[in-house]
Amino acid sequence: MNAKVLLLVVGLLVGGAAGWLTRPQAAQINIGPVQIEVQSDRPAEGSGPLTSGQTQHVAIFAVVGAVVGLLLGFVVDSRKPA
């Protein structure tokens, strides 16, 4: 498998895992059509349904991990002898 693709996938998985483990503690309150979400600065404890803010947090970490993995893939490919 190509090093860029492999490191991209690894970065995506590691970033997603890091985002999941560091997602902020949140509570979502729905009153009719109004949705209120409150987040703290501490990591969430336990599991449960993800709020939209937590989903964005995990997605951002996954994308950053994928970009770092892809950049490392380019570095590894450039160091291979031709």
pLDDT attached to residue 13: 97
15, 63 Cβ separation under 8 angstroms: yes
0.75 exceeded by the pTM?
A: yes
Q: Which parts of the chain fold into alpha helices (H)? A: 3-21, 52-79
pLDDT attached to residue 63: 96
What are the b/e assignments for 12-41, b being 16+ CB within 10 Å?
Answer: bebbbeebbeebeebeeeeeeeeeeeebee
Domain ranges of the chain: 3-79
| φ, ψ dihedrals at 50, nearest 5° | -75, 140
Residues lower than pLDDT 70 in the chain:
1, 82
pLDDT attached to residue 30: 85
Identity of residue 49: P
